[in-house]
C-alpha cells in the first residue's frame, strides 16, 4: 500500500506542516517545576461536583507552582451538546472562583495556544491524522453502524472480546482499490488507529494519584476521527495536550481504561506524554455501603444545587479541599483567618479510591466559613441569594441595610463566633424575629411552668426595662425577677439544691426570649433587644401577657 498516496487521497487539503504547528505553539517559558494543566469539560449543560473537584485540583497545582491553568471546551460530541451549555460552564466555573489564565471565555478565546474549543481545531487534528496515515499508523474504515452491530453480535455469540481488532478489523488491511471505490461513491468513513498492541502484554505506569499500575496493552483499532472529520476525545486529548504544552493531566478515573491507548498514541506521534492524575469518583454512604454519587439519585451532584440552597462558593470550595486533602481541616483550625489558597495543596494526600461526600460535613464547613465572614459580607451574599430565590425576604433585608447588618453583627468577630447559618436559605429563619411581617410565636412555654409565673416575670421585666442599660445591669434585673419569684438567680446554688427552687434564672430568660423572639433558641437577647428597640420589645411582651 502506498501510504503517501492514501494520505493525499484522504486529506487532499491539508497543507500545514507539523513544523509550522510546533512553531505556532512553542514550549512555554516558565519557572522550573511549573505545572501547566487544564480543565477540559464537555458542554453538556450539567456542571457537577466532579468538575469542581478536578478544577480545584488543577487550579491549585498550576497556581501553587507558578504554572498555567487553561480552559478547553471539549465540544466534539455534538449529540450530547446542549444549547447555551458553554456559557453555563464558563459562568459556573467563574462563580466558583476558578481563575483561568487562558482559554475559552464568554467573549471568545484568550491566550496563544487556541482555539480552545475543539470544534474549531479540526484543521489541526487533520495534520496529525494525515501523518499517521502516511506512516501506516491509521487507516479509513467504511463500516456502517449495522456492520459494527453485527460484529458485536457475532463476538457476543462466540464469547470473544468486543471491539474492532484482529480479524474483526475488516478495513485494516484492505487494498487501496476497495478504499478508492468507497470514496468514489461518497461513502462516509472514520479514521482508525492501527494498534500494534496485544492484550497479552502489560504496561507499567505511574499515576500521580493512583500510584504504580499495571495495565493491559490496547489492541483495539479505536476511532481517531469520526465521519464528520471531528476527532474522538482520545485523539483530541493527545494532540491538544501536546500542542498546548500541558505538563499534567488531571481527570476522572473513568479514563484509566483508555489510558493505554492514549500512551500508544503519544508514542506513535513521537511525543512525550504528560503526567497523569486520575481522580477517583465522589462516593457517598448509602446505608452501610459506599456508592458513587449519581446524577439520577443525588441532587447534590449538580452545582446548581449549591447555588439554590445558598451555599457560599467559598464554603463549597473549602469543603472540597477538606475532602481532597486530609490535613486541610487541621490547617484551617490552626489558621482560621488565612485565605484558603495559602494552604499547601498536595496531590499526594488525595485518596486513590475517591473521596467520600458527606452533607453533614459540608454544612459544618459552611457554618464555619460563614461564621468567619464580616457582617457586610454576610449581608451582601445573603441578599444576593434572596434576590434570586426569595424576593420578599430580599425586600425586607434591603429596606434598611444598616438594620439588617446589625442583626448579622451579633456574636460575630470574636474568637468563637456564632455558627447559626450554614446556607443562605436558613437566613430567613435566623432573622425573621427582627421583622414584624415575619415575627410569630413559634415555640410554646413548657407546661411545667405556671402561667402566673410567666406573666409576673414578663410584667416585672417591662416595669424595669431600660433600653439604655448595659448588659450587666440588664441581666441583674432579670436575676432580681428570678429571686422575687422563687427561681434561683445563682446557677451554682441551684445546682446544689434544685428542689429548693421553682426553677432558675435561665428559665426567666427563656420566658422573655420566647415573648420577644418567638423561639426558645435565638441570638443573644440583650443584642436582640438593642436592635428591636424599646417600643417593640415592650409591645411584644404585652402581647404575650395578653395571650397567656
Q: Which residues bind ligand GLU (CB under 6 A)?
A: 40-42, 74, 233, 237, 249, 251-252
- Chain centroid, CA 535 distance in Å: 47
- What is the closest distance, in whole angstroms, from the C-beta atom of residue 259 to ligand GLU in the complex? 11
**What are the counts of helices (DSSP H) followed by strands (DSSP E) for the chain?**
23, 16
Q: Nearer to ligand GLU by C-beta: 350 or 423? A: 350
d(C-alpha 261, C-alpha 152), whole Å:
20
Q: How far is CA 424 from CA 139, 311, 371, 508, in A?
A: 57, 6, 12, 32
- What is the closest distance, in whole angstroms, from the C-beta atom of residue 519 to ligand GLU in the complex? 47
CB 282 within 8 A of CB 295: no
- What is the closest distance, in whole angstroms, from the C-beta atom of residue 280 to ligand GLU in the complex? 14
- What is the closest distance, in whole angstroms, from the C-beta atom of residue 276 to ligand GLU in the complex? 9
Q: Nearer to ligand GLU by C-beta: 8 or 77? A: 77
Q: Nearer to ligand GLU by C-beta: 76 or 425? A: 76
Looking only at Cα atoms, what is the longest distance across the chain?
109
Centre a 10 Å sphere on the Cβ of residue 31 and count the other Cβ atoms it contains. 8
Q: Nearer to ligand GLU by C-beta: 46 or 165? A: 46
Tallying the residues shown for the chain, one arrives at: 548
Q: Nearer to ligand GLU by C-beta: 192 or 278? A: 278
Considering only CA atoms, which of 98, 102, 100, 103 is closest in space to residue 116?
103
Q: Nearer to ligand GLU by C-beta: 102 or 432? A: 102
Considering only CA atoms, which of 447, 456, 465 is closest in space to residue 484?
456
Considering only CA atoms, which of 320, 367, 314, 360 is closest in space to residue 338?
314
Considering only CA atoms, which of 266, 166, 269 is closest in space to residue 219?
166
CB 149 within 8 A of CB 29: no
d(C-alpha 354, C-alpha 333), whole Å:
24
CB 520 within 8 A of CB 514: yes
Q: Nearer to ligand GLU by C-beta: 253 or 309? A: 253
Cell reading at 436: 414584624
- What is the closest distance, in whole angstroms, from the C-beta atom of residue 84 to ligand GLU in the complex? 17
Q: Nearer to ligand GLU by C-beta: 253 or 453? A: 253
> Can you say whether the dihedral through the CA atoms of 467, 473, 475, 481 is positive or negative?
negative
- What is the closest distance, in whole angstroms, from the C-beta atom of residue 355 to ligand GLU in the complex? 17
Name the 3-class secondary structure at 152. Answer: helix
- What is the closest distance, in whole angstroms, from the C-beta atom of residue 249 to ligand GLU in the complex? 6
Amino acid at each position: 500500500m502506498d501510504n503517501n498516496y492514501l494520505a493525499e487521497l484522504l486529506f487532499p487539503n491539508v497543507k500545514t506542516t507539523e513544523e509550522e504547528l510546533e512553531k505556532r505553539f512553542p514550549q512555554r517559558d516558565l519557572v522550573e517545576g511549573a505545572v501547566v494543566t487544564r480543565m477540559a469539560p464537555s458542554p453538556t449543560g450539567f456542571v457537577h461536583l466532579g468538575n469542581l473537584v478536578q478544577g480545584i485540583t488543577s487550579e491549585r497545582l498550576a497556581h501553587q507552582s507558578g504554572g498555567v491553568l487553561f480552559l478547553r471546551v471539549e465540544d466534539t460530541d455534538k449529540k450530547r451538546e446542549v444549547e447555551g451549555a458553554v456559557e453555563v460552564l464558563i459562568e459556573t466555573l467563574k462563580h466558583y472562583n476558578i481563575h483561568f489564565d487562558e482559554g475559552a471565555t464568554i467573549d471568545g478565546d484568550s491566550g496563544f495556544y487556541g482555539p480552545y474549543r475543539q470544534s474549531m481545531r479540526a484543521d489541526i487534528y487533520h495534520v496529525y491524522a494525515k501523518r499517521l496515515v502516511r506512516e501506516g499508523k491509521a487507516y479509513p474504515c467504511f463500516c456502517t453502524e449495522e456492520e459494527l452491530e453485527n460484529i458485536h453480535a457475532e463476538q457476543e455469540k462466540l464469547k470473544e472480546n468486543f471491539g474492532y481488532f484482529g480479524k474483526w478489523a475488516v478495513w485494516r488491511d484492505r487494498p487501496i482499490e476497495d478504499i478508492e471505490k468507497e470514496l468514489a461513491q461518497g461513502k462516509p468513513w472514520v479514521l482508525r488507529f492501527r494498534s500494534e498492541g496485544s492484550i497479552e502484554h502489560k504496561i507499567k505506569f505511574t499515576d500521580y494519584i493512583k500510584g504504580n499500575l499495571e495495565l493491559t496493552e490496547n489492541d483495539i483499532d479505536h476511532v481517531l476521527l469520526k465521519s464528520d472529520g471531528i476527532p474522538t476525545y482520545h485523539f483530541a486529548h493527545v494532540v491538544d495536550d501536546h500542542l498546548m504544552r500541558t505538563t499534567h493531566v488531571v481527570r476522572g478515573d473513568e479514563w484509566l481504561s483508555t489510558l493505554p491507548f492514549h500512551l500508544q498514541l503519544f508514542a506513535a506521534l513521537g511525543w512525550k506524554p504528560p503526567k497523569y492524575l486520575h481522580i477517583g469518583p465522589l462516593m457517598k454512604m448509602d446505608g452501610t455501603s459506599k456508592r458513587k454519587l449519581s446524577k439520577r439519585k443525588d441532587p447534590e451532584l449538580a452545582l446548581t444545587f449549591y447555588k439554590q440552597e445558598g451555599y457560599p462558593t467559598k464554603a463549597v470550595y473549602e469543603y472540597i479541599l477538606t475532602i481532597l486533602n486530609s490535613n486541610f481541616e487541621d490547617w484551617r483550625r490552626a489558621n482560621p483567618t488565612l485565605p484558603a489558597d495559602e494552604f499547601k495543596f498536595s496531590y499526594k494526600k488525595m485518596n486513590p479510591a475517591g473521596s467520600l461526600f458527606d452533607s453533614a460535613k459540608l454544612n459544618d464547613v459552611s457554618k464555619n466559613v460563614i461564621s468567619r465572614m464580616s457582617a457586610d459580607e454576610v449581608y451582601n451574599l445573603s441578599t444576593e441569594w434572596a434576590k434570586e430565590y426569595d424576593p420578599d425576604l430580599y425586600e425586607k433585608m434591603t429596606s434598611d441595610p444598616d438594620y439588617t447588618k446589625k442583626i448579622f453583627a451579633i456574636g460575630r468577630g470574636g474568637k468563637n463566633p456564632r455558627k447559626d447559618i450554614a446556607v443562605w436559605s436558613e437566613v430567613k429563619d435566623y432573622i425573621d424575629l427582627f421583622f414584624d411581617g415575619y415575627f410569630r410565636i413559634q415555640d410554646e412555654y413548657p407546661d411545667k411552668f405556671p402561667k402566673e409565673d410567666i406573666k409576673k416575670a414578663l410584667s416585672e421585666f417591662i416595669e424595669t426595662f431600660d433600653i439604655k442599660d448595659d448588659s450587666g445591669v440588664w441581666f441583674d434585673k432579670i436575676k432580681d425577677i428570678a429571686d422575687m419569684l422563687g427561681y434561683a438567680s445563682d446557677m451554682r446554688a441551684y445546682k446544689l439544691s434544685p428542689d429548693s427552687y421553682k426553677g432558675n434564672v435561665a428559665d426567666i430568660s427563656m420566658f422573655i426570649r420566647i415573648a420577644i423572639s418567638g423561639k426558645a433558641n435565638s441570638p443573644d437577647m440583650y443584642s436582640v433587644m438593642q436592635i428591636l428597640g424599646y417600643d417593640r420589645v415592650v409591645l411584644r411582651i404585652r402581647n404575650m401577657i395578653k395571650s397567656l
